[in-house]
Chain A
Amino acid sequence: MTDALRAEWTKLRTVPGTVWLLLAVVAATMALGLGADAAANCPSGGCQLDPARTSLTGIYLSQAVVAVLAAATIGSEYSSGLMRVTLTATPRRTTVLAAKAVILTALVLAAGTVAVLGSVLAGGLILPAHGFTAAHGYLPLSLRDGPVLRAATGSVLYLILITLLSLGIATAVRDAAAGIGGVLGLLYLIPIIAGIASPHWQRHLHQIAPMTAGLAIQATTSLRSMPISPWAGLGVLAAWAAAALLAAALLLQLRDA
């Protein structure tokens, strides 16, 4: 396993795209988060906005970036034929997949932590000037606040789970572009379809869709009206990621490279 990890680390480190994609994770999270912070407005008490969720809006975009990173990690091996060399060197195929998952998790953990900390910090600085003050019923956004800490760590975990989901799907389809299309379709389409469903079906769709269920971890206000509780929601996404990795491992074992 150590050798496999070292091999995957070498491959990922020496591909020029990796560094840029990890920087893009931070940039995308922060940029969209800053935009949402700047556009948010709470002129009086009782506005519907969730400050933690607003400053972490960037996750909607950066999840696409980590999905590309994961899909490209496996997809490029198939497109260049490197996969045959990899599997010759490491005949235990699940070890290859596990090593890729571990390396990707470590990288996204690092980039995601920087991105989320930056977003929460920016939210704490910007939002009070837009009416999110104690007078309107909002505590200053701080990681010392339990729900905010949960939203922040949960957002990093969310990015990791999306990475694993994308790795699984891209391995199953053996192509980066098709894999990324599948992942983004799965993430973005269900909430759009849910938009016109009846409230009953909307609730169910939000409970099972990987994105809406997983992002429940970001909620810090009106938790009672959520379709799914924060940790249960992240659990749903974890189940999706586990299912994708399991399917990938099975297909990897059964198929030719």
Chain B
Amino acid sequence: MQPWSKAGIIIKASTRPGSAYAAVMVTGARRVRMQYDYTGDIAGPPGPVSPDSPRWLRLTRSGDTVTGYESADGTRWHVVGTVRLAGLPATALAGLFAASPAGSESAASSSISGSSGGSGMNLATAIFDHVSLSGGQPGQTWAGDDVGGNAGAPTGTGFHQAGGTFSVTGSGDIAPDVPAAPGGGGGFAIEHTLLGIFGALVAVIVVAAMFMTAEYRRGLIKVTLAASPRRGRVLAAKAVVVGSVSFLAGLAGSVAALLAGEHLLRSNGNFIMPVSTLTEVRVVAGTAALTAVTAILALAVGALLRSGAAAVTLVISVVVLPYLLENTVLPAGAADWVLRITPVAGFAIQQSLPQYPQVAASYTPANGYFPLAPWAGFAVLCGYAALALAVAVIMLRRRDA
């Protein structure tokens, strides 16, 4: 039994996977919940649910509004949630369901009954009694179906009726598809096509650092500072130039990489997780902005260290290396902090898929998930670049050229 194993009553437009639904359910270790249309999730009152403390569940429909109730004793009912299901047909299907997502190593095991077969698919069985219907019900007999079942589903699913008691056994999940979840669809996120950004960043870091350090090597800095004695302006102008150029190059590169990558992935039969146009724009423009801010960081570090090799190494070590380390050798807890406090946090701007608390999955950067929100992570990188630039301006004013 998984924490998110679930069983309850559901009203659904059809048995086609992906059709609209609302359901009120008991879960393995996440109390009573009302879930609807895959991404909607409302928690019920606290308190564990187990065979020793069963729950009463009720769903009512009025037009396209569905209300879920729960009760411990069958007399005092609490509303769990009320949702509107756009496009729910006048005649919808209603029934009992049981589902259990595949085991996840990170998910804690729960104590209530059920079998779990290692990391593979597993089954949950729910016992329903006192089942009653009111209102117009065209279907008079109960029928069982394995909704969305596939070849990998375990055997033993189905339902069994004895008098007024139903036993329903199911596997899988009624939830949004998360590629990182065990048994997930294995699709690609759009940012997977933008992995080449790391190569671009190395090139941009070298160019931006040398944009400053080459002046020192050739003694050109003396001429530059003689021509424009306001030193802060020199650095600001360099930052604007290198930032704009890097942004445009990054934008061109990421648009091309996204289009080519999506085409290549699709033609090889891969599924790409759909995202809104706004998210797509944020990922592509964010990647370009990431390139620009990294360039400004490299420029500032170059101005501080006045050595191209040292600046390039330092910036690559804080922008690229932590990403590699947290994907390979660092334990999960340390990796989480690395992604919050180092400039690598900026890569969060590329995250296109949301985390769903109701789906247990390994939400790691390797799978496209970051601990910080996209703009918060990007702000961390911007903070480092701004700090480096400010210190560089101060040092440039104080030091001899």
Residues of chain A at the chain B interface (Cβ within 8 Å): 35-36, 39-41, 49, 53-54, 57, 60-61, 64-65, 67-68, 71-72, 75, 79, 175-181, 184-185, 188-189, 191-193, 195-196
Residues of chain B from 272 to 330 with CB closer than 8 A to chain A in the complex: 307-313, 316-317, 320-321, 323-325, 327-330
| Contacting pair B210 A177 (CB below 8 A) | yes
Distance, CA A199 to CA B307, complexed state (A): 40
When the two chains form the complex, which single residue of B192, B195, B308, B321 contacts A177, counting CB atoms closer than 8 Å? B308
| Contacting pair A188 B206 (CB below 8 A) | no
| Contacting pair B329 A60 (CB below 8 A) | yes
Instruction: Name the B residues within 8 Å of A57 (CB-CB).
Output: 325, 329-330
Q: A185-B202, A195-B366 are in contact. Are A40 and B321 (CB under 8 A)?
A: no
Distance, CA A158 to CA B203, complexed state (A): 25
Distance, CA A186 to CA B205, complexed state (A): 15
Question: Does any Cβ of A come within 8 Å of B213's Cβ?
Answer: yes
Instruction: Name the A residues within 8 Å of B199 (CB-CB).
Output: 185, 189
Chain B interface mostly: helix
A208 to chain B, nearest CB (A): 17
Residues of B in contact (CB 8 Å), total: 36
Instruction: Name the A residues within 8 Å of B310 (CB-CB).
Output: 68, 72
A224 to chain B, nearest CB (A): 19
| Contacting pair B320 A180 (CB below 8 A) | no
| Contacting pair B321 A64 (CB below 8 A) | yes
Instruction: Name the B residues within 8 Å of A192 (CB-CB).
Output: 195, 198, 320, 323-324, 327
Can you pick out 29 interface pairs between chain A and chain B where the beta carbons lie within 8 Å of each other? A35-B334, A39-B330, A39-B333, A39-B334, A41-B333, A57-B325, A57-B329, A64-B321, A65-B313, A75-B308, A75-B309, A176-B307, A177-B206, A177-B213, A177-B312, A178-B308, A180-B309, A180-B316, A181-B202, A184-B313, A184-B316, A185-B199, A188-B324, A189-B199, A191-B327, A191-B328, A192-B327, A193-B198, A196-B195
Distance, CA A40 to CA B331, complexed state (A): 6
Chain A interface mostly: helix
| Contacting pair B329 A53 (CB below 8 A) | yes
Instruction: Name the A residues within 8 Å of B78 (CB-CB).
Output: none
| Contacting pair A41 B206 (CB below 8 A) | no
| Contacting pair A188 B316 (CB below 8 A) | yes
Residue in chain B with minimal CB distance to A212? B328
The 3 closest A-B pairs by CB, nearest first: A177-B308, A39-B334, A181-B206
Question: Does any Cβ of A come within 8 Å of B98's Cβ?
Answer: no
